[in-house]
Amino acid sequence: MKNSSKFLELAKVGVVTVEFRKIDTQELRIMPCTLNNKLSNGKVPESMKQNKDNDEFAVWSLDKDAWRGFRANTVEDWYEGYPKEET
């Protein structure tokens, strides 16, 4: 995953979309997520810390309204904001 420290920094203040392959099916998952307490309606603890060197990340999925995880080596792309609309 490119620039995981920047990903964590942006996720703590807003919405980040992660595009990754599910391990079991290789299906592409496009997930808007956050690590922001307010955007998660209080589900993300204010004191939550993740190590940028981890190969697994836990995030609050905004489309599933639940905790989800992904592995760094399955990420194809990530960007700030909600998913891009397909044209």
Kindly give, in sequence order, each residue whose CB lies less than 8 Å from that of residue 86, ignoring residues fewer than 6 positions away. none
How many angstroms separate the CA atoms of 37 and 35, rounded? 6
Q: In the chain, how many domains are there? A: 1
How many angstroms separate the CA atoms of 23 and 40, rounded? 25
Residue range(s) defining the domain that contains residue 19:
4-80
Residue 86, in any domain of the structure: no
Q: What is the pLDDT along the chain (87 residues), one digit of tens a residue?
A: 889 999 999 999 999 999 999 999 999 999 999 999 999 999 999 888 888 788 999 999 999 999 999 999 999 999 999 998 765
Domain CATH code at residue 23: 2.30.30
Residue 58, in any domain of the structure: yes
- What pLDDT score was predicted for residue 15? 98
Q: Other CB atoms closer than 10 Å to residue 62's CB: what's the count?
A: 20
How many angstroms separate the CA atoms of 19 and 80, rounded? 12
Residue 67, in any domain of the structure: yes
